């Protein structure tokens, strides 16, 4: 495990007395730089891929139990008005690559994701000139590509120009 952040909060101890508690955000080392089902490691060569496939198929047939983990996650509450504004401003077109949204939601609206150019978890603002409505590919590029910082900065410039604040 690696400590990816920490914070101090007032919490009751075992005697009910309030004290400073240090809360650590831990992440398995193999997941550093990834979220969800993404993987940021090397791909397998064909021989190793075949070995892994054989191993996983064998596990399936043996009825391996599924494991679960409990996770506590701090979530930043975003303004729904800012989200609505950004999606309306984009009008169904990715504000990064300028392509149309990749599909239409069941609600009939174009699917774009609202990206915070400066992450809320890093103290970024939840304001209209700090978010972009972008396609899922561009959103992943903003976070995981080798040119993420440059691409994200370019998206920020585009948004500030649209909003007249750049």
Per-residue pLDDT in tens (0 to 9) along the chain, 166 residues: 666 566 777 888 888 889 888 877 665 555 444 444 444 555 667 777 788 788 777 765 666 677 777 777 777 788 899 999 999 999 999 999 999 999 999 999 999 999 999 888 788 888 999 999 999 999 999 999 999 999 999 999 999 999 887 6
The mean pLDDT value of the chain amounts to 82
Host H or E run for residue 90: helix 80-90
Asked if 135 and 99 count as a contact pair (C-beta separation under 8 A), the reply is: yes
Asked if 126 and 81 count as a contact pair (C-beta separation under 8 A), the reply is: no
Spacing of C-alpha 33 from chain mean position: 10
Name the token pair of 105.
């939601």
Asked if 111 and 103 count as a contact pair (C-beta separation under 8 A), the reply is: yes
pLDDT reported for residue 76: 78
Spacing of C-alpha 19 from chain mean position: 33
21 phi/psi in degrees, rounded to 5: -120, 135
Strands (E), 97-140: 113-116, 131-134
Q: Which fold has domain 80-163?
A: DNA Binding (I), subunit A (1.10.30)
Domain residue ranges of the chain, discontinuous segments joined by +:
1-33, 80-163
Classified as helix, coil or strand, 136 is helix
pLDDT reported for residue 34: 44
Please state the pTM of the whole predicted model: 0.65
Percent helix / strand / coil, the chain, rounded to 5: 35, 20, 45
């Amino acid at each position: 495990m690696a400590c990816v952040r920490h914070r101090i909060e007032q919490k009751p101890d075992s005697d009910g007395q309030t004290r400073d508690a240090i809360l650590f955000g831990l992440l398995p080392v193999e997941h550093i730089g990834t979220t969800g089902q993404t993987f940021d490691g090397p791909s397998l060569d064909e021989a190793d891929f075949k070995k892994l496939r054989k191993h996983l198929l064998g596990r399936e047939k043996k009825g391996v139990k599924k494991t679960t983990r409990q996770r506590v996650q701090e979530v930043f509450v975003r303004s729904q008005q800012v989200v609505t504004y950004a999606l309306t401003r984009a009008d169904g077109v990715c504000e990064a690559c300028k392509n149309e949204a990749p599909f239409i939601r069941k609600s009939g609206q174009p699917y774009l994701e609202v990206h915070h150019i400066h992450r809320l978890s890093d103290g970024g603002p939840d304001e209209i000139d700090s978010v972009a409505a972008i396609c899922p590919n561009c959103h992943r590029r903003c976070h995981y590509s080798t040119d993420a910082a440059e691409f994200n900065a370019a998206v920020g410039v585009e948004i500030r120009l649209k909003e007249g604040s750049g």
